Structure formats: structure tokens, C-alpha cells
């Protein structure tokens, strides 16, 4: 049902080639270019049947001998899945099949990190005799406290990965979600804003009517914190006294990377909900509410609890 819900939105996704949200304060000439004006990081988190996590030992002089998850910068022309497969293979010797995005992080408006999990499909675990400029070795680890870590930021990632593994055994969690191969030449986010109508208890979605009817889309300000851009966008739509609302997480991520240096932008979709009923939330400018089917409304409501969408962590 999750994929049916997303497929339903595809009609609206494709109707907004130009963002009509907050105007970025950065230069209008800003163009996202991988490893130049925008940084994309991929992290692979893999577990074996013993619930051990795959770790690699750093070879870089700045942190040689310390341990970290297989991770690194995306290269020009790569998509997200290609990048994480490459990093895992280079740093651990193992081949990875990505199965879902577990987490996305952003800092300012030009640094993004994508954490993916998956399964090992081949390769040979890297040993000290295989050491090279990518890593010294790799191994499966049960307790991170046994290692001298490069940074403690991976502890939360490993904890989330283990929680997801438990979810595969029956606990509630979001459905598998992989990035969509769709090219963008700007940094964008899209909002799916849902609200209940008191009179009939049906779920409604917010739509923009500024051009063709579409889900609201906004350009990410490359010089500002994402939360501040989202807040300003919501104020533009609902006025200065925006009623209490909650961004829950990510419904999809779109990126291609091909052709190189032309489509280095991305677009991700955030699920937002209001506590107040539709009758008590006013909208301004060219926006409207669309009543959706009960089936789709129930599906959206099922995404509101914890862990039912991919989290977006804003670092700064």
C-alpha cells in the first residue's frame, strides 16, 4: 500500500518543474555541482546473522587506524546506490545490494548524508594483507566499544540499523525505500501536508495552484539551515501564525547524477501533519486542500507514528 500511495503522488510530483517557494538568499547563479558546491555522503550499514555490524579501519593519515562505517563522498556522475555500492566494496571488499534508505542527514543547505542498509551479495572481507589507500582492513563487530572510533556519530546510525533489523522480525517500521532515479538541476524539497477535516473526518492534502496543480515545492536555501527554510515556506503558505504542525520525515528522495555536473541537484519529499482540523487552518496565496480517498488517507495516517517514515536529521 505504501508504494501505491507514493505512486498516486507521482501525478503531482511531475507537474512542478520550477520551485515556487522561498527565494534563496544565495546567488541566483548557484548551481549544485558534486564535490564543488554540494557534498553528498553515502554510508553503508550491514549486519550479519550474528547481529555484528560491518566496520572498516581507516587508512587516511588524518585518522589512520581508527574505525568507521564504510562511507565516503559521491563521485560526479554517480547515483546514490552506485556510490554506496562502490564505497562498501572499496573499503570492505564486500559487494552490497542496497535495500532501503535508513536515514538522511543535512547540514546548512549543501551537505547531505544518505545512510543505506542492505545485504551482502559477494566479495571477500578485506584483511590487513589487502590494505590500500581506501582502508587497512574490515571486520564484523558486535560491540563498538571494543574499537577506537574515528567519530562517535556512527553510534546512533548503528543503533538505528539494529532497530531496523529487529523490524524485519515483525516490529512496525517503514517499508523499504530506495532513491528514485529522477534528474534535478536544483536542490529542492517537496511537502506532503496532511490534515483532517472535522466535518467528515477525511484526510486532505495541500496543493499549490501557482502554475499547474502540484504538491508544494521549494528550493533549498544553500546558505541556511533546512529547518529555517521550511519554517519560512510554511509561513508563506499559512501566514505568520502557523498552527502547530510536525515534519515527520522523508517519503521519497529523487536524484540521478547523470549527465555528470548537469543534474547534481536533488529533491526529497517531507511528510508534514497538522494537529488542528482543516476548518481551523487558514491558507493564503494560491493553495488549496484536496480530499483524498479513505484508503490513501489511512495510509498517510499510518506514516505518522515513529519509524514509519525515513527520518531527516538536521545537524546544523
29 or 15: whose pLDDT is higher? Answer: 29
Which top CATH class is 39-167? alpha beta
- CA dihedral sign, ordered 12, 15, 19, 22: negative
The pLDDT of residue 213: 84
The pLDDT of residue 155: 96
The pLDDT of residue 22: 62
**Residue 309 vs residues 84, 200, 304: alpha-carbon distances, Å:** 21, 26, 8
The tens digit of pLDDT for each residue in 40-60 reads: 999 999 999 999 999 999 999
Residue the block writes with cell 529542492:
188
End-to-end CA distance of the chain: 34
Cβ 266 vs Cβ 187: under 8 Å: yes
β pairing state of 187-196 and 266-274 = parallel
The pLDDT of residue 2: 44
- Of the chain, the percentage scoring pLDDT greater than 90 comes to 81
Q: Please name the CATH architecture into which domain 2-32+177-314 falls.
A: Alpha-Beta Complex (3.90)
Among the residue ranges 20-29, 163-172, 213-222, 281-290, the one predicted with the least confidence is 20-29
Q: Delimit the CATH 3.90.79.10 region(s) of the chain.
A: 39-167
Res. 127: pLDDT tops 90: yes
Q: Indicate the Cα dihedral angle 55, 168, 8, 269, nearest 10°.
A: -30
Number of C-beta neighbours around residue 65 at 10 A: 10
For the residues 298-314, what does the mean pLDDT come to?
A: 95
The structure's pTM equals: 0.93
C-alpha grid cell, residue 10? 507521482
**What gap in Å lies between CA 123 and CA 95, rounded to an integer?**
5
Q: Model confidence at 261, in pLDDT bands (50, 70, 90)?
A: confident
- Of the chain, the percentage scoring pLDDT greater than 70 comes to 91
Amino acid at each position: 500500500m505504501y508504494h501505491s500511495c507514493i505512486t498516486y503522488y507521482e501525478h503531482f510530483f511531475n507537474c512542478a518543474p520550477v520551485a515556487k517557494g522561498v527565494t534563496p538568499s544565495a546567488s541566483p547563479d548557484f548551481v549544485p555541482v558534486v564535490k564543488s558546491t554540494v557534498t553528498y555522503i553515502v554510508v553503508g550499514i550491514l549486519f550479519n546473522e550474528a547481529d555484528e555490524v560491518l566496520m572498516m579501519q581507516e587508512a587516511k593519515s588524518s585518522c589512520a587506524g581508527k574505525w568507521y562505517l564504510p562511507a565516503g563522498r559521491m563521485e560526479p556522475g554517480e547515483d546514490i546506490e552506485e556510490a554506496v555500492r562502490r564505497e562498501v566494496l572499496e573499503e570492505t571488499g564486500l559487494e552490497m545490494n542496497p535495500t532501503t534508505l535508513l536515514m538522511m542527514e543535512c547540514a546548512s543547505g549543501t551537505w547531505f548524508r544518505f545512510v543505506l542498509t542492505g545485504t551482502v551479495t559477494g566479495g571477500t572481507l578485506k584483511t590487513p594483507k589487502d590494505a590500500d589507500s581506501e582502508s587497512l582492513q574490515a571486520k564484523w563487530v558486535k560491540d563498538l566499544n571494543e574499537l577506537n572510533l574515528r567519530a562517535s556519530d556512527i553510534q546512533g546510525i548503528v543503533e538505528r540499523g539494529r532497530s531496523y533489523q529487529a523490524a524485519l522480525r515483525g516490529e512496525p517500521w517503514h517499508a523499504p525505500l530506495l532513491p528514485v532515479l529522477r534528474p534535478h538541476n536544483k536542490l529542492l524539497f517537496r511537502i506532503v501536508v496532511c490534515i483532517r477535516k472535522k466535518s467528515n473526518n477525511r484526510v486532505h492534502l495541500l496543493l499549490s495552484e501557482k502554475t499547474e496543480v502540484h504538491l508544494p515545492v521549494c528550493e533549498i536555501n544553500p546558505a541556511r539551515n533546512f529547518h529555517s527554510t521550511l519554517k519560512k515556506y510554511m509561513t508563506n503558505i499559512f501566514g505568520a501564525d502557523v498552527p502547530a504542525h510536525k515534519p515527520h520525515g522523508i517519503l521519497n528522495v529523487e536524484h540521478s547524477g547523470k549527465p555528470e555536473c548537469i543534474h547534481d541537484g536533488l529533491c526529497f519529499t517531507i511528510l508534514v501533519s497538522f494537529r488542528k482540523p482543516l476548518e481551523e487552518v487558514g491558507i493564503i496565496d494560491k493553495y488549496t486542500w484536496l480530499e483524498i480517498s479513505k484508503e490513501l488517507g489511512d495510509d498517510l495516517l499510518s506514516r505518522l507514528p515513529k519509524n514509519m517514515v525515513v527520518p531527516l536529521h538536521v545537524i546544523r
